[in-house]
A = this chain, B = another copy of it.
Amino acid sequence: MSKQELVVLGQTDETGACCPGLLTAPLDEGQAVELAKVFKALGDPVRLRLLSIIASRAGGEVCVCDLTPAFDLSQPTISHHLKLLRQAGLIDCERRGTWVYYWLLPEMTDRLAGILTRPAGEPLPAPAEVTA
């Protein structure tokens, strides 16, 4: 994933500090299209399980040969789901000999967490307050 693609997700601060964009200001169309691709990649139970297995692996990476036994799905199907996670910038991989190894790209999950985090000191009204 290029730096340009990452920037469009509301991150313009080169210090790495996150600039929440979803809850603080209306997204423009371009931002929404880019961000929707990432959420769409997360919008599938198999991909979420794959991501959680990869992200929680102590050694930081997982062989595809250790991923397929966790699912009642064919190897090509698992590979397709992994490809979508990779295209969304959530994971990356490297082939070594027979097998492909996958790892989390924490920059993207950090960015999504930042986008979904309410700005400090600006609590949103609770529904009860809104409807009172």
Contact = CB atoms under 8 A, between A and B. Distances in A.
Q: How many of these chains are in the complex?
A: 2
A39 B49 contact: no
Contact of A22 (B36, B39, B48): B48
- The prevalent SS among residues of A at the interface is helix
Contacts of A55: 22-24, 124
Given A40-B40, A48-B35, A23 B56 contact: yes
Contact of A125 (B21, B26, B103, B112): B103
Given A106-B124, A106-B126, 12 more contacts: A25-B56, A29-B45, A39-B40, A39-B48, A40-B44, A41-B43, A42-B43, A61-B130, A106-B123, A109-B116, A109-B118, A116-B116
